């Protein structure tokens, strides 16, 4: 393989020191976020002036800088996002912006950004046919879902149009739910993963059939030596390492490992060195997940820990009350960070080491309060460190950075150009029930049906023209051909109105099909006029807005929309969708959180849907929503398993509390 064809090693950076660690380790590109519009808002992130100096230093070493502006954009944020991108373009000059929201892509071009636009994995391009639609939205690269097998990646590569490259994750944390299809944190309290504020409810302990476990907490993805297979797929031009909330120690060691695995894939000694680097990276236990289709691995193992860090020893009771001793399995340095135990367990905390402790030495920790005392034998993990050897490698880069004259931040007066609003909807609003299995004897008016390949024989094809046909939010490569065939059958029987739950699903339809009405579904996460304008430009007739928005935002959006709008006003909204389920969890049986929140899993086609045992209900706001301009009100009818008890409550989602 020639040097030019090697995939780039793309490193994460959540702070300046991690950025420098990535460059020191030999990364080809570094991706990072700003203090606004980043899907990792819990990372430290960067100011534009800070990033400008780092990017200039990186350019001098042929290292590219990508900036993630990959959050959902609320209706009134276009000007703010445009001003930020305008300053980025002028001061930082990033090689690419990573986005998930079509509105951000539109405002970036308006603000004069000339670099590449990369479509985030949060946008969920999960099947090959969708790739052909992306150039129309100005994207030159797409980040593939973590859930794909290497064979599915090959399928995606073969389907990629000229000029569109692919980026694949090779290492880092795995979310239980598919990226961009997780609403768990938001549904429980307004802290949305699509806004970078996920509180990780999937990492908690849950009770299922009387047994407690971390049934949704995944191990880390770690492809290590298996990345050799990716070298045979030239369309995959980047290997991505996840970890913008990680420290420089993790960044340096993971980058160094994958650089070795790329450059010396057949060298046994290099592979051993890479394995050593990954062992020192202080992540969670690793899994190759679905990468090998003949040997897939479930990333959830309740018998193994899923917390990050290297085991550093166990606590034993000290002589004095409240004191505990750690006999260290590894040497500790000043500045090292230790995590005691696991989340949701007594004694869990992060401790900063203040002195050198040799291997086998003792470190004494103090715990105050009866509710915060750990159990004897609780494990302790080294989760980050400030290695002097790494500091020495970074020092020359810091010196070079200090010589760069800071740029004076210039304010931007950018104002976004909005699409022309549609004329107000004058007809009587439509109430639409959407079913898994409709009772045809009772349905007289238009209704919705989820398209399912496993239940194709039960679909109401005889009434195809009156049905609103809903496509699932995730379609995997191994089921795409089935969906294409089923869609063609529906169209041939007169079906014309389709709700697509990813904009790229237009690629599933027969070429040249006429007279079809495409609506963007609520899982498209559409929340602003610019995104709606992009949908209109690409042939969508209407859209169901994201239910995550606040009441104020929901009521204001129709006035600025260029296409008709609908809303999910009632019914079962999923906490998320996943390609896996723990072997210990049985579908359609209750799973209970520490806060007595009930949920259950059900499988449709090749995807698991996770539901809470209480529904969304915005019908008390129906009149206000009608007055605002919504023309379709959806009730998502999900069968309740007989073993699951419906809670005597409903959710208004983020109507009152707002979306952070």
In this predicted model, what pLDDT tens digit does every residue of 316-333 receive, in sequence order? 988 887 789 999 999 999
CB 469 within 8 A of CB 461: no
pLDDT in tens, 36-60: 776 565 556 688 889 999 999 999 9
Q: Contact at 8 Å (CB) between 100 and 143?
A: no
Token pair 């297979």 is found at 229
Rounded to an integer, what distance in angstroms lies between the CA atom of residue 245 and that of residue 39? 11
Q: What is the mean pLDDT of residues 390-401?
A: 95
Kindly indicate the confidence band of residue 370, based on its pLDDT and cuts at 50, 70 and 90: low
Contact of 598 with 592, CB cutoff 8 Å: yes
Question: Could you give the percent of the chain with pLDDT greater than 90?
Answer: 79
What is the per-residue burial (b if ≥16 Cβ within 10 Å, else e) of 492-506? eeebbbbbbbbbbbb
Whether 10 and 28 have beta carbons less than 8 Å apart is answered as yes
Per-residue pLDDT tens digits for 92-138? 999 999 999 999 999 999 999 999 999 999 999 999 999 999 999 99
Strand segments (E) across 95-242: 96-99, 116-119, 141-143, 165-172, 206-208, 211-213, 220-222, 236-241
Q: DSSP 3-state assignment of 232?
A: helix
Q: What is the pLDDT of residues 262-271, one digit of tens each?
A: 999 999 999 9
- CA atoms of 134 and 141, how far apart (whole Å): 9
Give Cβ neighbours of residue 322 (< 8 Å, ≥ 6 apart).
366, 367, 368, 373
How many other C-beta atoms can be found within 10 angstroms of the C-beta atom of residue 168?
27
192-228 residue pLDDT tens: 999 988 989 999 999 999 999 999 999 999 999 999 9
The DSSP call for residue 191 is -
Task: Work out whether the CA dihedral 10, 16, 18, 19 comes out positive or negative.
Answer: positive
487/495 Cα distance (integer angstroms): 9
Residue pair 429/633 in contact (Cβ under 8 Å)? The answer is yes
pTM for the model stands at 0.94
Q: Which long-range contacts (CB under 8 A, 24 or more apart) does 116-120 make?
A: 116/140, 116/141, 117/141, 118/66, 118/142, 118/143, 118/167, 119/143, 120/39, 120/68, 120/70, 120/179, 120/180
Q: How many CB atoms lie within 10 A of CB 53?
A: 20
The Cα–Cα gap between 261 and 567 comes to: 48
Burial group, residue 456, by CB count within 10 angstroms (0-12, 13-18, 19+) = middle
Residue 652 is encoded by which pair of tokens?
A: 């208004």
**CA pair distance 610, 40, nearest whole angstrom:** 23
Segment 419-472, tens digit of pLDDT: 999 888 777 899 999 999 887 777 778 999 999 999 888 888 989 999 999 999
Alpha helix positions (H), 243-365: 248-263, 268-279
Distance CA 176, CA 194 (A): 15
What are the tens digits of pLDDT across the range 549-560? Answer: 999 999 999 999
Name the pairing type of β-strands 574-578 and 517-520: unpaired
- Does 2 score more than 50 pLDDT? no
Query: Is pLDDT above 50 for 252?
Result: yes
Q: Are 373 and 347 in contact (CB under 8 A)?
A: yes
Q: In sequence order, which residues have a C-beta less than 8 Å from that of residue 262 and are 6 or more positions away?
A: 6, 7, 9, 227, 231, 239
| Axis-axis angle for helices 102-110, 78-87 (nearest 10) | 50
Which residue ranges form the domains of the chain, and what is each CATH number? 6-174+219-282 (3.20.20.70), 310-384 (2.40.30.10), 430-651 (3.20.20)
Q: φ, ψ for residue 45 (rounded to 5)?
A: 65, 180
The encoded tokens of residue 156 equal: 């995606």
């Amino acid at each position: 393989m020639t040097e030019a064809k090697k995939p780039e090693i793309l490193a994460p950076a959540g702070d300046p020191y991690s950025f420098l660690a990535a460059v020191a380790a030999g990364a080809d590109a570094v991706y990072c976020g700003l203090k606004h519009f980043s899907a990792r808002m819990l990372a430290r992130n960067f100011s534009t002036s800070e990033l400008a100096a780092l990017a200039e230093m990186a350019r001098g070493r042929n290292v590219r800088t990508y900036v993630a502006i990959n959050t959902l954009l609320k209706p009134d944020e276009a000007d703010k996002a445009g001003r930020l991108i305008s300053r980025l373009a002028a001061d930082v000059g990033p090689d690419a912006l990573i986005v998930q929201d079509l509105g951000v892509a539109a405002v970036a071009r308006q603000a004069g950004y000339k670099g590449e636009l990369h479509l985030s994995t949060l946008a969920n391009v999960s099947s090959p046919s969708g790739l052909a639609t992306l150039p129309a939205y100005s994207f030159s690269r797409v980040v593939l879902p973590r859930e794909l097998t290497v064979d599915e990646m090959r399928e995606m590569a073969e389907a990629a149009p000229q000029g569109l490259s692919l980026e694949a994750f090779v290492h880092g944390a795995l979310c239980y739910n598919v990226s961009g299809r997780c609403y768990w944190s938001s549904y429980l309290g307004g802290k949305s993963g699509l806004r970078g504020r996920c509180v990780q409810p999937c990492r908690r302990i849950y009770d299922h059939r009387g047994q407690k476990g971390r049934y949704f907490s995944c191990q880390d993805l770690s492809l290590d030596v298996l990345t050799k297979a990716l070298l045979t797929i030239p369309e995959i031009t980047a290997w991505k390492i996840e970890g913008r909330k990680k420290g420089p120690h993790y960044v340096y060691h993971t980058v160094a490992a994958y650089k070795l695995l790329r450059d010396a894939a057949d060298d046994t000694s290099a592979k051993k060195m890479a394995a050593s680097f990954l062992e020192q990276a202080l992540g969670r236990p690793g899994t190759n997940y679905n990468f090998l289709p003949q040997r897939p691995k479930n990333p959830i193992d309740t018998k193994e820990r899923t917390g990050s860090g290297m085991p550093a020893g166990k606590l034993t009771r000290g002589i004095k009350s409240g004191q505990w001793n750690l006999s260290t399995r590894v040497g500790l340095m000043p500045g090292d960070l230790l995590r005691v135990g696991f989340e949701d367990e007594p004694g869990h905390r992060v401790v900063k080491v203040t002195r050198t402790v040799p291997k086998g030495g003792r470190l004494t920790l103090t715990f105050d309060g009866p509710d915060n005392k750990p159990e004897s034998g609780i494990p302790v993990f080294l989760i980050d460190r400030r290695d002097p050897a790494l500091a020495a490698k970074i020092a020359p880069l810091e010196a070079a950075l200090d010589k760069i004259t800071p740029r004076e931040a210039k304010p931007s007066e950018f104002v976004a150009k909005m699409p022309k609003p549609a004329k107000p909807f004058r007809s009587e609003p439509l109430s639409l029930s959407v079913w898994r299995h409709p009772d045809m004897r009772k349905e007289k008016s238009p209704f919705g049906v989820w398209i399912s390949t496993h239940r194709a024989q039960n679909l109401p094809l005889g009434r195809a023209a009156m049905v609103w046909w809903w496509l699932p939010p995730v379609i995997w490569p191994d089921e795409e051909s089935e969906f294409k065939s089923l869609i063609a059958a529906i169209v041939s029987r007169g079906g014309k109105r389709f709700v697509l739950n990813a904009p790229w699903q237009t690629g599933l339809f027969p070429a040249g099909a006429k007279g079809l009405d495409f609506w963007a579904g609520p899982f498209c996460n559409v929340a602003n006029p610019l995104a709606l304008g992009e949908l209109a430009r690409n042939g969508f007739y209407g859209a169901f807005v994201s239910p995550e928005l606040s009441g104020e935002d929901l009521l204001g959006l129709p006035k600025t929309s260029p296409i008709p709008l609908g809303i999910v006003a009632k019914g079962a909204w999923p906490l998320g969708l996943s390609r896996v389920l723990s072997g210990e969890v049985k579908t359609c049986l209750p799973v209970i959180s520490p806060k007595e929140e009930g949920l259950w899993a059900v499988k449709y086609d090749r995807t698991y849907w996770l539901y809470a045992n209480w529904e969304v209900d915005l019908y008390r706001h129906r009149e206000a929503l009608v007055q605002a301009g919504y023309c379709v009100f959806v009730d998502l009818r999900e069968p309740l398993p007989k073993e699951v008890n419906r809670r005597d409550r409903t959710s208004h989602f983020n109507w009152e509390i707002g979306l952070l």
